[in-house]
């Protein structure tokens, strides 16, 4: 008996199995190797790790990658997308993010950026455009290789 309602064991097991499959799916995300016209990369310093990362986030229900990327860039950096470029890679290693299994699509983006500010200062502590020489050595959530692939003009798949 569950909460005063009698549920047959078989139905409970089927429901549990369906929920397990539905709720244990990878999260789909997108992020940008976002550059300004003068060649600087726009990065965000995350509130959860304190480290720098590529701007981006998860796809919302009914949203395209193009719209999601423009939305995330504006929410996290204040930048406006001028042009989307090539696919940098698709990253799906389950060990990349301890919070969940994410499949992240990384694309190049040309952006218009003046000193930006995130809509949610708890999520994004700081926004900055870095020259090639100023880029942090390591990025949060194993994004270092994503940025390296963008800089090298490579396309990667996991």
Percentage of residues in the chain having pLDDT higher than 90: 70
> pLDDT tens digits, residue range 56-84?
999 999 999 999 999 999 999 999 999 99
Three-state SS for 110? strand
Quote the tokens at residue 72. Answer: 């995330």
What pLDDT is stored for residue 14 in this prediction?
Answer: 73
Domains and CATH numbers, the chain: 26-157 (3.90.79.10)
What is the helix (H) or strand (E) element at residue 66, kind and residue range? helix 65-77
What pLDDT is stored for residue 119 in this prediction?
Answer: 85
Question: Which of 86, 81, 76, 88 shows the shortest CA–CA distance to 43?
Answer: 76
What pLDDT is stored for residue 118 in this prediction?
Answer: 85
What is the helix (H) or strand (E) element at residue 17, kind and residue range? helix 9-23
Average pLDDT value for residue range 76-93: 96
Q: Note whether 92 and 158 are within 8 A (CB).
A: yes
Residue 76 CB neighbours (<10 A): 28
20 has a pLDDT exceeding 80: no
Residue 17 CB neighbours (<10 A): 10
Average pLDDT value for residue range 142-156: 97
φ, ψ (nearest 5 deg) of residue 140? -65, 160
Q: What pTM was computed for the model?
A: 0.83
């Amino acid at each position: 008996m569950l909460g005063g309602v009698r549920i047959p064991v078989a139905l409970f097991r089927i429901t549990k199995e369906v929920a397990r499959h539905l709720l244990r799916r990878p999260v789909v995300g997108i992020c940008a190797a976002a550059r300004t016209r003068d060649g600087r990369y726009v990065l965000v310093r995350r509130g959860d790790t304190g480290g720098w990362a590529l701007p981006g986030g998860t796809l919302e229900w009914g949203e395209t990658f193009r719209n999601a990327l423009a939305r995330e860039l504006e929410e996290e950096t204040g930048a406006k997308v001028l042009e989307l470029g090539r696919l940098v890679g698709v990253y799906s290693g389950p060990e990349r993010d301890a919070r969940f299994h994410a499949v992240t699509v990384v694309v190049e983006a040309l952006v218009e950026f003046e000193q930006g500010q995130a809509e949610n200062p708890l999520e994004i502590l700081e926004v900055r455009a870095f020259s090639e020489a100023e880029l942090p050595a390591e990025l949060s959530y194993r994004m270092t290789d994503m940025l390296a692939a963008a800089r090298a003009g490579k396309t990667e798949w996991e």
